[in-house]
Homo-oligomer: A and B are copies of this chain.
Amino acid sequence: MNKVYQPKRSDWAEVLKRPTQTVEDIESIVQDIFKDVQQNGDKAVFKYTSKFDKVTLDSMQVTEKEISNAAALVSTPLKEAISLAKSNIESFHTAQQTRKVSIITTTGVRCWQEKRAIEKVGLYIPGGTAPLFSSILMLAVPANIAGCKEIVLCTPPDQEGNINPVILYTASLCGVTKIFKVGGIQAIAAMTFGTETVPTVYKIFGPGNQFVTVAKQIATKYGVAIDMPAGPSELLVVADDSAHASFVASDLLSQAEHGKDSQVILVSTSKELIDKVEQEIEKQLPLLPRKDIAATAIDNSKLIYVENDEIALALINEYGPEHFIVCVDNEDFYIDNIVNAGSVFIGNYTPESAGDYASGTNHTLPTNGYAKQYSGVNLDSYLKSMTFQKITKEGIQNIGEAIELMAEAEGLQAHKNAVTLRLDSLNNK
């Protein structure tokens, strides 16, 4: 672990530097697979599934029978846990619904804003050793609340051609309409172009490795929207002597186990706490099953001592953490003034893993400093805001001249004429 004491403002960028990723060489691989899937549809998808997932499939779509079989394989306690998480996520995302905004801007001119669901969305859920069913909760529950009509899920099959039962159970529970055994770049390509089997979607959500991340970026070139650009997961904790060092260490480690490129930062106004957390990490780390991964991430982590809360806050806003834990006496200072963060966890009994699973907030959050300009996934991620206006005869008489003048000044005579014709018709009556 790297301890940094009172870094100079001019060194912040270096201290806060994230593990870098190179995407240039991945791009050409992604482009090739995209072109193949665009041209050859299912055939290409089957080919890449065979190549990358080491299984030859007869059909991609998960059947009703597979789904109902899966439910029997999930333990009752886990089902209850998923049910609790789903209920909390549902409550919080339902509360995010907004009303229609309608006002009269000038007499006779009514403008309103309404949100309507994106009709077709695609969710990508990575494969690998652990089934990331929690991401299905986070992505499918708000899609359903928003009213998306088609909710497609792609996830890679194992070498027997199966999907983990918890994935199938959760997808079915959360109202996913179609599940496909397709992973990686070919999944993103299939949802972008559509194939004989996989429908085109308008927006793609979900986590993934570097290949999936680049594929989602490339997909935007073909007119598909994505939830947000992605990078390695990260956590920043601000803590003072009111924090429990063992809790802080456990939070830092829970982030560190995500991947070797995960980033973990502790900012503190207490040198004592920094030392205690360091000791706790050394104590807890060897006990973890994923200790090799966590150790690498911890090696790159920073424990930063700063003199006061103002400096801490400025440094944190400069960094823009995905996850931000606040364990300090004057927590309101940070709550009120944090500007760049994905999700904020407050107090000694709010571990980051609560938000990952069950508190109700979404765990799909902006990494890599994107908290400066992107929101995490929320109900609005599945909606588009449309505007409407209806102008009466009186209304166009009230604002018509202003439009004529402005259109004229912009050299757009036909824009002016559309108003002039209407005004003339009213004046001639």
Contacts and interface: CB of A to CB of B under 8 A. Distances in A.
Given A88-B399, A113-B378, A406-B134, A414 B105 contact: no
Given A359-B399, A418-B250, A373 B224 contact: yes
Contacts of A390: 345-347, 350
Interface in A54-98: 77-78, 80-82, 84-85, 87-88, 91-92, 95-96, 98
A129 interface: yes
Contact of A81 (B368, B375, B406, B421): B406
A309 interface: no
Contacts of A223: 229, 368-370
Contacts of A416: 353
Q: Interface of chain A, helix or strand or loop or mixed?
A: mixed
A230 to B, nearest CB: 12
Contacts of A378: 113, 385, 387
Interface string A110-126: 01010011110000000
B406 A85 contact: yes
A244 interface: yes
A176 interface: no
Interface in A373-392: 373-376, 378, 380, 383-392
Contact of A118 (B217, B220, B372): B372
Interface in A157-195: 166
Contact of A387 (B357, B361, B417): B361
B391 A247 contact: no
A425 B349 CA distance: 10
Interface in A342-359: 342-359
A293 B355 CA distance: 55
A9 interface: no
A402 to B, nearest CB: 4
Contact of A389 (B117, B132, B344, B396): B344
Contacts of A202: 372-373
Interface of A: 23, 77-78, 80-82, 84-85, 87-88, 91-92, 95-96, 98, 101-103, 105-106, 109, 111, 113, 116-119, 129-134, 166, 202-203, 217, 220-221, 223-225, 229, 244, 246-247, 250-251, 253-254, 256-258, 284, 287-290, 294, 335, 338-362, 366, 368-376, 378, 380, 383-393, 395-396, 399, 401-403, 405-407, 409-419, 421-422, 425
Given A119-B372, A290-B413, A371-B386, 13 more contacts: A85-B406, A92-B101, A220-B220, A250-B417, A251-B418, A254-B415, A254-B417, A290-B411, A343-B388, A347-B390, A350-B389, A352-B418, A354-B419
